[in-house]
């Protein structure tokens, strides 16, 4: 068999079937289990397209000499970045995470502000009111498709949203956008939500200085990459009750080590990189337009840019 498109996925994964249907009659496709070696008669010299998670795809890049395009099944491509040949185009998974990420962010903020978790485990009557979220301010680090989806969802609850991006350009859904590392961004934020990718420029944007400018009882949510947060600074802010709670889905090291102090902090909620667990089923949907462009010899869109890191 001489496949033109190689799908690296475990047998239980859903997305390969959708991609197979998409490529039927257009490209010869082959699915390989990343945990098993290919059959002896499998030849990869004809592979032009590789689809898989970044860490899986990285192991196969060198075996596909005619490779032209890698479609990642993740939004981030950190594990693949150093393995990309100069002539190969990479497209991260985009435009499919907004719904799940918005559900996650608003679900957690509402559960904390309305004391859902506390009331669910209550053993005595407590009629004290909760503040709710109406009129609060959310700062979203990252104003791409995910950040915009979160802002739209937050707006439905009467939350005012500010954005942070590389150059401060205006984005619909945000009352104002700020340039990265502009200290004024954090001044009045009740909620800080990071959806940032991992780059040198995004490291420790949430640090001791930015945390010190937040109003008391703010909530931190990180669904982007772990490098955005200075862990020691956040732990200090939590212990001093400057920050009311932190919902952390991503970390510099995953799985988060059992010895990490986050596990012992009562107001930290570790969610184990589950903010958007099922979106890989939409890989076919995400790559449909680019597949047609690839077959027609047109430039692909939503391409990974190494200088930006996403």
Catalytic residue, candidates 115, 273, 281, 293: 273
Catalytic residue, candidates 45, 184, 232, 254: 254
Rounded Cα gap, residues 50 and 304, in angstroms: 15
HSE-CB at 59 with a 13 A cutoff on CA atoms is 14
Question: Does 254 qualify as catalytic in the annotation?
Answer: yes
Residue 166 Cα distances to 10, 169, 203, 221, 227, angstroms: 37, 8, 13, 20, 16
Torsion of CA 289, 293, 294, 296, to 10 degrees: 140
Rounded Cα gap, residues 226 and 194, in angstroms: 9
HSE-CB at 158 with a 13 A cutoff on CA atoms is 6
Rg (the chain; Cα; Å)? 22
Question: Does 225 qualify as catalytic in the annotation?
Answer: yes
Question: Does 273 qualify as catalytic in the annotation?
Answer: yes
End-to-end CA distance of the chain: 34
Instruction: State the Cα angle at 113 between 112 and 118, rounded to 5°.
Output: 50
Rounded Cα gap, residues 259 and 274, in angstroms: 21
Contact 254, 273 (CB under 8 A): yes
Residue 70's CB: how many other CB atoms inside 10 A? 27
Task: Cite the DSSP H helix spans in the chain.
Answer: 15-23, 54-58, 98-113, 116-120, 145-155, 208-212, 231-239, 283-295
Contact 168, 141 (CB under 8 A): no
Residue 174 Cα distances to 13, 30, 150, 183, 260, angstroms: 36, 44, 11, 17, 35
Contact 205, 180 (CB under 8 A): yes
Which residue numbers are catalytic?
A: 225, 254, 273
């Amino acid at each position: 068999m001489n496949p033109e498109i190689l799908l690296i996925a475990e047998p239980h994964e859903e997305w390969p079937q959708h991609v197979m249907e998409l490529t039927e009659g257009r490209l010869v496709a082959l699915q390989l289990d990343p945990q098993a070696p290919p059959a002896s008669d499998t030849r990869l010299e004809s592979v032009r397209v590789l689809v898989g998670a970044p860490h899986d795809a990285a192991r196969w890049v060198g075996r596909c000499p005619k490779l032209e395009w890698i479609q990642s099944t993740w939004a981030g491509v950190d594990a693949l970045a150093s393995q990309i040949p100069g002539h190969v185009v990479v497209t991260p998974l985009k435009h499919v995470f907004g719904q799940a990420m918005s559900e996650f962010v608003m679900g957690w903020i509402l559960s904390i502000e309305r004391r859902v978790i506390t009331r669910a485990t209550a053993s005595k009557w407590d009629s004290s009111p909760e503040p709710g979220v109406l009129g609060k301010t959310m700062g979203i680090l990252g104003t791409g498709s995910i950040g915009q989806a979160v802002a739209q969802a937050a707006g439905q609850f009467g939350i005012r949203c500010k954005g942070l991006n590389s150059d401060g350009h205006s984005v619909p859904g945000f009352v104002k956008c700020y340039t990265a590392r502009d200290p004024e961004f954090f001044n009045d934020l009740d909620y800080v939500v990071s959806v940032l990718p991992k780059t040198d420029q995004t490291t420790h944007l949430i640090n001791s200085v930015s945390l010190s400018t937040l109003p008391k009882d703010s909530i931190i949510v990180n669904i982007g990459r772990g490098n955005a947060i200075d862990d020691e600074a956040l732990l200090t802010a939590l212990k001093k009750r400057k920050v009311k709670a932190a919902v952390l889905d991503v970390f510099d090291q995953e799985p988060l080590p059992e010895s990490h102090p986050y596990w012992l902090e009562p107001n930290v909620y570790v969610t184990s990189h589950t903010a958007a667990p099922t979106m890989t089923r939409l890989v076919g949907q995400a790559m449909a337009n680019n597949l047609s462009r690839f077959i027609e010899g047109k430039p692909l869109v939503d391409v990974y840019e190494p200088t930006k890191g996403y």
